[in-house]
Amino acid sequence: MAKNVFVIGLNAMNAERLRRLRGVEDVVFHPLLTPAQVSDTQEFDMPALLAEAEQTLDAFDGSIDAIVGYIDFPVSTMLPLLCKKYGTRNTSLESLLKCEHKYWSRSMMREVVPEHTPKFTAFDPFDDDALSKIGEADLRFPFFVKPIKSSGSRLGFRIDSPEDFEYATEKLRAEIRLIGEPFDHVLSQADLPDEIRAIEGHFCMAEQVIGGRQCTVEGYVHDGEVVPYGTIDSIRYPQVLSFFYYLYPSTLPPRIQETMWEITRKVMGHIGYDNSGFNIEYYWDEVQNKVWILEINTRIAQSHCDLFEMVDGVSHQQVTIDLGLGRRPDMPSGEGPERVAAEFFYRVFFRDAAVARAPSRAEIEVAAEQIEGARIVSYVKRGMSLSELPEQDAYSYAVASVWMGANKQSKLLWNYEQVMKRLNYEFADILE
């Protein structure tokens, strides 16, 4: 009998990836909700999304063998609710929120690995005395602020002065309820400690600034066993917080990677997360030889799918599908055609702008043909404003992504330059 797997927000690119996985010959993938509803938008009506998903599942004439996703909020938080109702495998809502609710997550980290957890406190951005209360929590300039629930690097700010905090607060007050209110709906479904229930969806975190070489450890938990399986470097543009490219495998020293993997096992075991994929972002401060945890994400990183396929032979969506079906993930290592792989982000550093010109589909295809196996996705169209792009960081806009592999890192960078010479973007009405 065929296995029926429902994928929230399934698009054409990921449908193609899924068909290349191991052991899916007897699996039928079904879309559940559209990308426009769960990823290509900044507004999420959680009760309506859940109701529509349930209506689709209730109307299905067949077995529901797995419900999965590969997207951050709101998909990640919908999965435990839907899987519990339909009896499919996933972690519990409470264990997921111990990762996604940033204050609860930091509290969990502090209990088990305090030496790798920065100082932190929660605050209400609508509280006019928030800055003084942050100071009372022993946080001094500089510090970092972000929502207790966000997506990507959205609404994250480095604070070096009261003026920076005033600017960040203005932005947070204007936009934070877009995710805060739907996140409150998810929190209302969970059994929360009183301390956590007091930290509502529109609250924010203030954290000690940490830094160094950034990376992400991808892993999963299968029947209580925590299994890290890859480390990916996150390389930033010089002097800014925006990412330039993700590189796999990591170039960090093996001993540092093993330290991160051991921390990963401790933290995820302590949280009680189970039968789902995840990733944890880390910093290694080379000067102090200190490893810091940045945050936990309750999904595989979609940006890393092609990197694993190029280097290891299969997208790590293998993990998501196998776990959803109750199988131990069949994730290979080193069986791909490339030794290294990267996703590059072509960014512009404007407050906003109008897209005056974007490459045509034919131009993108010609550019991709310069490097065997390269894939390019442009996120903008002529006439749109950059501010229409969802899930952008506070300092730049990613207008295109380029995935490619090579036999060494320097060749990757050279190839990226050759590809970008073929792509021509122009902007008007630029706000610097």
- Which range (86-90, 151-155, 264-268, 423-427) has the least confidence? 151-155
Residue 120: strand pairing partners? 207
Q: Which pLDDT score, from 0 to 100, does residue 42 have? A: 80
Give CA–CA dist 199/192, Å, rounded. Answer: 10
Quick count: other Cβ atoms within 10 Å of Cβ 425? 17
Is the predicted pLDDT of residue 151 greater than 80, yes or no?
Answer: no
The confidence score (pLDDT) of residue 152 equals 66
pLDDT tens string 263-290: 999 999 999 999 999 999 999 999 999 9
Any residues with CB less than 8 A from the CB of 387 and at least 6 apart, and which?
352
Rounded mean pLDDT, 388-393: 88
All CATH 3.40.50 domain ranges in the chain, comma separated: 3-95
Question: What pLDDT, in 10s, does the model give residues 96-129?
Answer: 999 999 999 999 999 999 999 999 999 999 999 9
Q: Let me know: does 205 contact 122? Beta carbons within 8 Å.
A: yes
**Mean pLDDT of the region 153-178:** 94
What distance in Å separates the CA atoms of residue 19 and residue 4, rounded to the nearest whole number? 13
Length of the chain: 432
Of all residues in the chain, the percent with pLDDT exceeding 90 is 94
- The token duo for 297 is 């994400």
pLDDT in tens, 10-61: 999 999 999 999 999 999 999 999 999 998 888 899 999 999 999 999 999 9
Per-residue pLDDT, averaged over 150-158, amounts to 82
State how far Cα 223 lies from the chain centre. Answer: 24
pLDDT above 80: residue 164: yes
pLDDT bin (cut points 50, 70, 90) of residue 423 is very high
Average pLDDT over residues 375-383: 96
Structure tokens at 401: 């992504």
Output the pLDDT for position 384: 96
Where exactly does CATH 3.30.1490.20 map onto the chain?
Answer: 119-209
Which pTM was predicted?
0.95
Percentage of residues in the chain with pLDDT exceeding 70?
100
- Average pLDDT of 225-243? 94
Name the segment(s) of the chain with CATH classification 3.90.1170.30: 342-431
Torsion-angle region of residue 241: left (phi > 0), alpha (psi -120 to 50) or beta?
alpha
How sure is the predictor about 390, in pLDDT bands with cuts at 50, 70 and 90? confident
Classify residue 385 by its DSSP letter.
Answer: B
- CA-nearest of 144, 166, 170 to 157 is 144
**Secondary structure of the chain: what % helix, strand, coil (to 5)?**
35, 25, 40
Q: Describe the crossing of helices 93-100 and 102-112 by its angle, rounded to 10 degrees.
A: 90
Q: Reply yes or no: is the peptide bond before residue 390 cis, omega within 30 of 0.
A: no
Tell me yes or no: is domain 3-95 CATH 3.40.50.
yes
Q: Which of 304, 326, 232, 228 is nearest to 268 (CA)?
A: 228
Domain 342-431 has CATH 1.25.40.10: no
Sign, CA torsion 221/225/231/236: positive
Q: For the chain, what is the total number of helices (H) and then of strands (E)? A: 15, 17
pLDDT: is 161 or 391 the higher one? 161
pLDDT score recorded for residue 403: 97
**pLDDT surpasses 90 at 1:** no
Q: Are 46 and 33 in contact (CB under 8 A)?
A: no
Classify domain 119-209 by CATH number: 3.30.1490.20
Q: What is the 3-state secondary structure of the chain?
A: CCEEEEEECCCHHHHHHHHCCCCCCCEEEEEECCHHHHCCCCCCCHHHHHHHHHHHHHHCCCCCCEEECCCCCCHHHHHHHHHHHHCCCCCCHHHHHHHHCHHHHHHHHHHHCHHHCCCEEEECCCCCCHHHHHHHCCCCCCEEEEECCCCCCCCCEEECCHHHHHHHHHHHHHHCHHHHHHHHHHHCCCCCCHHHHCCCCCCEEEEECCCCEEEEEEEEEECCEEEEEEEEEEEECCCCCCEEEEEECCCCCHHHHHHHHHHHHHHHHHHCCCCEEEEEEEEEECCCCEEEEEEEECCCCHHHHHHHHHHHCCCCHHHHHHHHCCCCCCCCCCCCCCCEEEEEEEEECCCEEEEEECCCHHHHHHHHCCCCCCEEEECCCCCCEHHHCCCCCCCCEEEEEEEEEECCHHHHHHHHHHHHCCCCCEEEEEEC
On the question of pLDDT at 317 being above 80, the answer is yes
Asked whether 177 and 157 are in contact (CB, 8 A), the reply is no
The mean of the pLDDT values for the chain is: 96
